[in-house]
Structure 1
Amino acid sequence: MTKKITTLLFDLDGTLINTNELIIATFQATLQEFMPEKTFTREDILPFIGPPITETFANLYPEKADEMVSYYRAYTNEHHDELILEYDGVYEAIRALSEEDYKLAIVSTKIYDTVMRGLKVMGLDKFFQLVIGFDQVQAAKPDPEGINMALTLLNALPDEAIMIGDNYHDILAGKNAGVKTAGVAWSIKGEAFLNEYKPDYMLHSMGDLIEIVREEED
């Protein structure tokens, strides 16, 4: 029996691992350090979640962008393990998909080493054949470069793949690459926000993905 979907591409932050508090705390610390005259609320920071930090800081403070990126990454490195959390059911679902021989990959806007650290802390690294970080592509999501690279390296066709993520960048990148897309309802930005970008599926638990790919079998 041939599976219609053979390849599952995942975002990391907010999709497989709950890094929301780490990201928010890191942005707060960085912005306080470099822009103390301004006040950024939690709600102000939410739009910063998803795009590459290089892009965010270049827009906020071009003259200090490189320093802010360095500070941000140092803070993340120091506080990473204590602030990340797991989402219920993710480990079990990813293990099940791996055991059923789906090709699993990460396409993230985080740099490769930080992605791997998060996967290892959560015990997920052993399930993924491929990880593509921000430092391995020329253009970040919603550009399809990372997804296209993953498909090539995994020897998969677009109509055999699905991109799963918590942000509009993930959905648009999937559409731009010609793959199916799935949003996650546990996104910090909310299910209604993601639905505006019309993903093919909306997951209310990672277990939903198992049912979707099984139903897609011929």
Structure 2
Amino acid sequence: MILALTLAPPLWASQDSSSPSSLSAVTHPAALLCLVVFILSYIAVLMEEYTHMRKSKPVMLGAGLIWVIIGVIAPSYGVDHDTLHSAIFHGLEEYASLLLFLLAAMTYISALEERNVFAVLKCKLVQAGFNYRQLFWATGIMAFFLSPVADNLTTALVLGAVVMAVGNGNPRFVALACINIVCAANAGGAFSPFGDITTLMVWQ
């Protein structure tokens, strides 16, 4: 959906950028409607815990509605059918390339999980007998360097399980260590061009 919003301005920019009609597209009621659709879709994603609806459903519906709105108002700004067609297919091409990359990456992660690589890592850390301070730094450092090759969710789940197994009687430590793991995983992904989807967006 964000892709649809980001591709919309080039449609108007393809015309004379100094023209008032091009600039007025930002304040057009349809543009404001696109913003409302985006916000409502985002709220629906945030309410997943209560609605039990997959995040992909409101996002895909919202993206489709935004593209429909863009297609309706595009001719009034001098955007022909071919330009609009090219913009849509450019977005689909970017999405497809990203999807194929993530498919290959998740296949690699699934192969590691099938061979119990992450389970062995968890057992080694638990058996090492680290104190809370050592475990805090060890899991944070591991999350930083593991997140570029594994997605952030897998990294957080694996190392979070280690923290919960060791610090079972100390909820304060578990909370702080999990926060550290999540921050380190995101920082590690952004550090490397081989990270997750967020990393790809940053590098693009």
Q: Do both proteins adopt the same fold according to a TM-score greater than 0.5, normalized to the shorter chain? A: no
TM-score, length basis structure 1: 0.26
Between Structure 1 and Structure 2, the one with more strand by share is: 1
TM-score, length basis structure 2: 0.27
Larger radius of gyration: 2
Between Structure 1 and Structure 2, the one with more helix by share is: 2
Higher RCO (CA-CA < 8 Å; seq separation 6+): 1
